[in-house]
Amino acid sequence: MAEPLIELKDIYKIYHMGDEQVCANDGISLTINRGEFVAIVGKSGSGKSTLMNIFGALDVPTSGSYLLGGEDVDQMSDDQLADIRNRMIGFIFQQYNLLPKSNLLENVELPLLYAKVPAEERRERAMRSLERVGLAEKWKNMPNQLSGGQQQRVSIARALTGDPSLIENFLYEKFKNEDLYTVTAMSEMLDSLNSMIAMVSAGLGGIAGISLLVAGVGVMNIILVSVTERTREIGIRKALGAKRSVIMQQFVIEAAVTSSLGGVIGILLGSIATSTIGALAGLNATPTPMAVIVSFSVSVGIGLLFGYMPASRAAKLNPIDALRSE
């Protein structure tokens, strides 16, 4: 039969706020055996944090009984509670709570220091904990020199360094060998995911840039061919009084219209593809109006930019030479 590690019997925690009483925990009874892995879930304000504070011997219940490893926590003095927290409980804080003026090794050593572990053994165990979370080479670093994910891993290493029953027993009972499990912080995984997304975004941005360059060169070639084929027309227009600015405006507008039509077709095809792929993946992937506006604006801008050179060439044609063109 499994040995109970935590036993709660009819736990109540009541806070007094003026004349009002707030019952954070209302008659909770549960047993957690050694080697079990338990998650406390619930909506905000349901009393999870209060219950965890009681588990961690940071707070005591208003009424009820709490046994930790067979010891009655309710009847302990402050010094006894401190000893229980040091010996049996490993805290992994949501906000890391690393000492800012101590390096990583000193932060991880802290529970062992209060447990009066000899300095040499303390250092060895702290380094082993840092190795388990992949930060042994950074032991001299200060907390502010680490990312959020790395700070969380240091917090985990500190919690594990004293071999606390409330954390260590589950992993050890499950795998029977410390070499078979590692600790990874969720925030570190998110950092890695964000880095991958940034790399993919950069790659897609590069492809988009090359595509725009190719499209711009295509527009420029189209207008250059148009200028060549309509050289005589340009000569006639100039002979009849058309100014350089008028000729340039004509071909720049043609370039903008050409690229705009391409942009509209691209937006339509992209919207259809996005919606189709999103539907297949079970996602809502409808293009936003802002994305459509930006895409259309870019296509018009490409036409204006790459249409300028052939338009300028057309505007500078000598009327006589243009009229002689066949």
Question: Is 96 domain-assigned?
Answer: no
Residues 114 and 163 in one domain: yes
User: What does DSSP assign to residue 74?
Assistant: G
Pairing type for strands 20-33 and 4-17 reads antiparallel
Residues 194 and 318 in one domain: yes
> Which DSSP string corresponds to 177-242?
-GGG-----HHHHHHHHHHHHHHHHHHHHHHHHHHHHHHHHHHHHHHHHHHHHTHHHHHHHHHTT-
The predicted pLDDT at position 140 comes to 92
pTM, whole model, 2 decimals? 0.44
Residues 165 and 198 in one domain: no
The predicted pLDDT at position 187 comes to 59
Taking 70 as the pLDDT cut, the residues of the chain under it are 1, 91, 94, 163-188, 285, 326
Domain count, the chain: 3
Residues 218 and 310 in one domain: yes
Residues 218 and 297 in one domain: yes
Question: 165-175 vs 148-161: helix axis angle to the nearest 10?
Answer: 90
Single out the residue in 25, 51, 73 at which a domain terminates.
73
Question: 231-239 vs 244-281: helix axis angle to the nearest 10?
Answer: 130
Residues 174 and 223 in one domain: no
The predicted pLDDT at position 142 comes to 93
Residue 9 domain boundaries = 4-73
Residues 275 and 308 in one domain: yes
Rounding to the nearest 10 degrees, give the CA dihedral for residues 164, 169, 170, 174.
150
Question: 186-229 vs 231-239: helix axis angle to the nearest 10?
Answer: 70
CA distance 244 to 249: 8
Backbone Cα Rg of the chain = 35
Residues 194 and 175 in one domain: no
Q: Taking phi first (over 0 means left), then psi (-120 to 50 degrees means alpha), and beta for anything else, what does residue 317 get?
A: beta
**Partners of 8 in beta bridges:** 30, 66
CA distance 107 to 155: 8
The predicted pLDDT at position 175 comes to 47
Residues 196 and 179 in one domain: no
Residues 122 and 28 in one domain: no
Query: Residue 15: what are its φ and ψ, rounded to 5°?
Result: -105, 145
Residue 27's CATH number: 3.40.50.300
Question: Is 97 domain-assigned?
Answer: no
Single out the residue in 56, 73, 90 at which a domain terminates.
73
Residues 275 and 195 in one domain: yes
CA distance 278 to 62: 53
